[in-house]
């Protein structure tokens, strides 16, 4: 079981001035069940959306898919696919593709206030990552994300970069520290023929029509810095058979602080109980300014999160299969966010954090 901490900061004068909010959405259920407080020890494929350094925990190949229902009933869905592969010498590469859909939204304009059809906004993020285990105690990684946002004939494109470090120490490698800086990138700007309108010029004789383009302003990426720490308590360490064996029951306590550039900072704590690396229960709380005030808060979350993981091996020499689920209750609207993930790890390649 583990514990982690998250830090936060923020400039209230810049709130609402960034774009690409999907860059701070994590599609992996195990990490969202801990509200991202596990940055110091997250490992494998899901580390690409939390702390890229943890990608180095994969010792061969891992494939994962996830699906999220964002504000149940709103029509907002998240689909995610990722692959990580160890290329030798403690080097791991990964790719993560995440898309968001928003259902059918009625299209209206000045002449058709009751609507004339529907449109379908689409967000797509394609992330490439590399991580290396420099020693038994230190992992580091770097990633780049291609960002695409599109609404019919209007779109915006950008690139975001990130880096992270993890350090582990202690008698049983049970004290973890993590640092990650995410979403440093290019400014984005919406453009396209959707900004052009045809305007009549009745004052001229004869009258004519001109095309007028309304340019949009550029916006920044939602950059943030996360500091996290965790400590593993082995609950039955006095009953292990030998000094090299790990106990069956582990409790991890964690905390983190996230300093956000354009929204409130976060501070969070969490706990994870694991039995034989086959089953785990997770819970966390994330605080930000005003979260207890339903009328004035700037977040839809109430701060709580919970989830569970079940992991088993398929056959004697088959891949390892893990199923993760998380739920985060929300306020205004009170529909909640559900995430579910499936992760397959090739035989003999269980993530090092799960060994």
Is the confidence at residue 303, as pLDDT, over 60?
yes
pLDDT at 325 over 60: yes
Residue 323 lies in a domain: yes
Category of 71 on φ-ψ map: left (φ > 0), alpha (ψ -120 to 50) or beta? left
pLDDT recorded at residue 7: 38
Over 80: is that where the pLDDT of 121 sits?
yes
Token digits for 265?
A: 């900072």
Domain total of the chain: 1
Whether residue 254 lies inside any domain: the answer is: yes
324: tokens are 């993760």
The DSSP H or E segment spanning 97 is strand 91-101
Q: Give the global pTM.
A: 0.86
Give 208 or 175, the one with higher predicted confidence.
175
Residues 126-137, mean pLDDT to the nearest whole number: 96
Give the pLDDT score at 153.
Answer: 84
For residue 201, being part of any structural domain is answered with no
**Statement: residue 4 has pLDDT above 50:** no
- Position 9 scores a pLDDT of 44
pLDDT at 334: 74
In percent, the amount of the chain with pLDDT more than 70 equals 88
Contacts of 247-252 spanning 24+ positions with Cβ under 8 A: 248/275, 248/276, 249/1, 249/273, 249/274, 249/275, 250/1, 250/2, 250/274, 250/275, 251/1, 251/2, 251/3, 252/1, 252/2, 252/3, 252/4, 252/41
For 65-70, the CB contacts below 8 A with 24+ separation are 65/341, 65/342, 66/27, 66/28, 66/29, 66/324, 66/339, 66/340, 66/341, 66/342, 67/339, 67/340, 67/341, 68/27, 68/337, 68/338, 68/339, 68/340, 69/337, 69/338, 69/339, 70/25, 70/100, 70/337
> Using 50, 70 and 90 to split pLDDT, how confident is the model at 23?
very high
> Residue 86 sits in a domain of what CATH number?
2.40.160.40
Residue 72 maps to a domain? yes
pLDDT band at residue 214, thresholds of 50, 70 and 90? confident
Q: Is 8's pLDDT higher than 50?
A: no
Average pLDDT over residues 7-18: 57
Tell whether 194 is covered by a domain: no
Under the banding of pLDDT at 50, 70 and 90, the label for residue 242 is: low
Residue 238 pLDDT > 70, yes or no? no
Q: Residue 34 domain-assigned?
A: yes
Residue closest to 303 by CA, chosen among 284, 326, 282: 284
Flag the least confident range among 22-26, 116-120, 137-141, 250-254.
116-120
Query: Would you state the pLDDT for residue 349?
Result: 46
Q: Which pLDDT belongs to residue 16?
A: 64
More confident residue, 6 or 335: 335
19 pLDDT band (50/70/90 cuts)?
Answer: confident
User: What's the whole-number mean pLDDT along residues 295-319?
Assistant: 88
Residue 207's pLDDT band, with cuts at 50, 70 and 90, is low
Confirm whether 210 is domain-assigned: no
pLDDT digits (tens, 9 = 90+) for 150-194: 988 889 999 999 999 999 999 889 999 999 999 999 889 888 887
* pLDDT for the residue numbered 355: 46
Instruction: Round the average pLDDT of the chain to a whole number and report it.
Output: 87
Provide the residue range defining the domain that includes 117: 2-188+222-354
Q: What is the pLDDT of residue 194?
A: 79
Question: Which has more pLDDT, 291 or 242?
Answer: 291
The pLDDT tens digits of the residues spanning 43-92 come to 999 999 999 999 998 888 999 999 999 888 888 999 999 999 999 889 99
In-domain check, residue 63: yes
């Amino acid at each position: 079981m583990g514990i982690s901490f998250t830090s936060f900061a923020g400039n209230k004068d810049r709130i609402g001035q960034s774009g690409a909010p999907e860059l701070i959405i994590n599609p992996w259920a195990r990490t969202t069940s801990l509200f991202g407080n596990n940055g110091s020890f997250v490992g494998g494929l899901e580390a690409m959306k939390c702390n890229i350094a943890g990608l180095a925990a994969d010792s061969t190949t891992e494939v994962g898919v996830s699906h999220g229902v964002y504000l149940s009933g709103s029509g907002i869905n998240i689909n995610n696919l990722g692959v990580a592969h160890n290329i030798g010498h403690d080097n791991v590469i990964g790719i993560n593709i995440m898309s968001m859909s928003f259902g059918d939204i009625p299209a209206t304009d000045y002449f058709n206030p009751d609507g004339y059809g529907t449109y379908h906004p689409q967000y797509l993020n394609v992330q490439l990552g590399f991580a290396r285990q420099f020693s038994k105690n230190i992992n580091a990684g770097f990633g780049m994300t291609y960002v695409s946002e599109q609404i019919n004939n209007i779109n915006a494109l950008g690139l975001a970069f990130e880096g992270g470090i993890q350090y582990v120490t202690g008698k049983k490698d049970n004290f973890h520290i993590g640092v990650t800086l995410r979403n440093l990138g290019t400014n984005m700007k919406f453009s396209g023929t959707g900004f052009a309108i045809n305007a009549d010029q009745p004052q001229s004789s004869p009258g004519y029509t001109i095309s007028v383009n309304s340019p949009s302003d550029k916006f920044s990426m939602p950059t943030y810095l996360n500091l996290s720490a965790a400590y593993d308590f082995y609950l039955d360490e006095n009953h292990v058979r030998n000094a090299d064996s790990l106990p069956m029951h582990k409790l991890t306590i964690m905390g983190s602080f996230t300093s956000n550039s354009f929204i409130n900072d976060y501070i969070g704590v969490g706990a994870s109980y694991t039995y034989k690396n086959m089953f785990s229960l997770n819970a966390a709380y994330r605080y930000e300014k005003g979260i207890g005030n339903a009328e004035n808060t700037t977040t839809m979350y109430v701060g709580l999160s919970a989830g569970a993981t079940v992991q088993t091996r398929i056959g004697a020499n088959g891949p390892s299969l893990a199923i993760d689920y998380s739920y985060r209750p929300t306020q205004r609207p009170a529909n909640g966010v559900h995430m579910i993930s499936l992760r397959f790890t090739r035989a003999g390649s269980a993530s090092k954090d799960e060994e």
